[in-house]
Amino acid sequence: KNISVIGAPLDMGGVRQGSRFAPDTLRLLGLIDKIKRLGLDIDRDFNLDVKNGYKLEKSEDNLNHLDMILEQLDILFESVKNQMEEGRLPLVIGGDHTTVLGTMKGVLNNYPNAGLIYFDAHADINTTETSPSGNIHGMPIAALIGMGDERLKAVGGNLTLNPENIVYVGLRDLDNGEKEILKENNIKCYTIADIDQLGMGRVMDEALEYLKNTDGVHVSFDVDCLDPIFAPGTGIHLFGGLNFREARLGLEKCHASGKVLSLEFVELNPLLDYDNKTAELLIELICAGLGEVRL
Ligand code: ARG
Ligand code: MN
Ligand code: MN
Ligand code: MN
């Protein structure tokens, strides 16, 4: 399939702004060329025309910058939906992780029984009631499964993601309310401890087996699943994340399954990076997700 690179430079949903610069940073560091050298065709390569502002303090309704984010997500949803309808594989570059609400709705529009593989330190499954921060990048999965604020749920229409079609990989920081939601909805979770115990290879084999009856999978990758030693260029730093090889294997296994419908890489913040280290690492990971193989 030919690829559509969709830059989604929206960063009103995160903690520290700056991920709006990620799509162009990755391009300037050679992402597009590197993908082409894999023998893949890029049919489209553009940034969405989304409006950002500057973060203010926490809003009273615990939904920081909701209106701006809703506008951004509509634009993203339409784009992913259209690119898929035209037969291309969307490669979405965030932006903060609110993106997954627009992207996944676009995927569900084409494949109502699609699955989601979510590489993240976080579950991003807070509602307005459970969120400690009011930051909407911590809420997209709740909205996708039909929980939380009506306006977020309504992004891209009424389609919902079946909680049984989700697999988390790499969790290491959950809020108490999120733990309950994960449990109540019986959502498949592989924590960092599970990866320590089983190894990334086994975890991915199980995850893909678990999703085998879906229409295919959307892969959503948050840079903060990585250890900050490897990936300082992101808004939240927590010890004990994935190393480069584990993340790489995870993405290689996704590709090798033949089930990938679309890919998304988010929360790279070039303003927090050192010497473009995180950005360069992410380019390698994107290529792994697109099928680049090692020796
Ligand atoms: N759980 C925290 C919150 O709701 C952190 C979420 C971090 N999400 C992310 N996409 N990096 O604020
Ligand atoms: Mn996330
Ligand atoms: Mn995260
Ligand atoms: Mn579990």
Residue 294, pLDDT above cutoff 90 = yes
Compute the distance from residue 225 Cα to the ligand 2 centre, in Å.
Answer: 8
Q: Which residues does a 6 A CB cutoff place in the pocket of ligand 1?
A: 97, 122, 124, 126, 131-133, 135, 137-138, 175, 222, 224, 236, 267
Atom of ligand 1 minimally distant from the CA of 126: 4
The environment of the single-atom ion ligand 4, i.e. residues with CB closer than 5 A, is 189
For helices 66-85 and 99-110, angle between their N-to-C axes, nearest 10 degrees:
30
End-to-end Cα spacing for the chain: 24
Atom of ligand 1 minimally distant from the CA of 175: 1
* C-alpha span between 204 and 214 (Å, rounded): 16
Helix (H) or strand (E) holding 170: strand 166-171
Compute the distance from residue 118 Cα to the ligand 2 centre, in Å.
Answer: 8
* pLDDT for res 28: 98
What is the pLDDT averaged over residues 218-222?
99
* pLDDT for res 130: 98
The pick from 19, 103, 137, 265 for probing ligand 1's pocket by mutation, whose C-beta has the most ligand atoms within 8 angstroms, reads 137
Q: CB under 8 Å to 287, separation ≥6 — which residues?
A: 34, 35, 38
Compute the distance from residue 215 Cα to the ligand 4 centre, in Å.
Answer: 23
What is the pLDDT averaged over residues 197-219?
98
Atom 8 of ligand 1 has which residue's CA nearest to it? Answer: 138
* pLDDT for res 56: 86
Residue 134, pLDDT above cutoff 90 = yes
* pLDDT for res 79: 98
The pick from 122, 129, 182, 264 for probing ligand 1's pocket by mutation, whose C-beta has the most ligand atoms within 8 angstroms, reads 122
What is the pLDDT averaged over residues 252-275?
98
* 273 close to 232: Cβ distance less than 8 angstroms: yes
* pLDDT for res 262: 98
Residue 187: nearest ligand to its CA? 4
What is the pLDDT averaged over residues 176-184?
98
What is the pLDDT averaged over residues 213-236?
98
Catalytic residue annotation: 97, 120, 122, 124, 137, 222, 224, 267
Compute the distance from residue 290 Cα to the ligand 2 centre, in Å.
Answer: 21
Backbone angles phi, psi at 62, to 5 degrees: 60, 30
Output the CA angle 84-86-87, nearest 5 degrees.
65
* pLDDT for res 57: 85
Q: CB under 8 Å to 93, separation ≥6 — which residues?
A: 5, 6, 7, 8, 22, 23, 26, 264, 265, 266, 268
Backbone angles phi, psi at 31, to 5 degrees: -55, -45
Compute the distance from residue 2 Cα to the ligand 1 centre, in Å.
Answer: 32
Please, what is the average pLDDT of the chain? 98
* C-alpha span between 10 and 21 (Å, rounded): 9
Sign of the CA dihedral 230, 234, 239, 245?
Answer: negative
Atom of ligand 1 minimally distant from the CA of 134: 12
What is the pLDDT averaged over residues 75-97?
98
Q: Could you tell me the CA-to-CA distances from 284 to 53, 141, 248, 253, 269 in Å, in that order?
A: 31, 26, 8, 15, 17
Check residue 186 and report its DSSP letter. T
Does the reported pTM lie above 0.90?
yes
For 136-166, write each residue's pLDDT tens digit: 999 999 999 999 999 999 999 999 999 999 9
* pLDDT for res 288: 98
Name the E strands within 206-289. Answer: 217-222, 260-266
Edge-to-edge order in the sheet of strand 217-222: 42-47, 3-8, 89-94, 260-266, 217-222, 115-119, 166-171, 188-191
Output the CA angle 193-198-202, nearest 5 degrees.
130
Sign of the CA dihedral 135, 137, 138, 139?
Answer: positive
Residue 17, pLDDT above cutoff 90 = yes
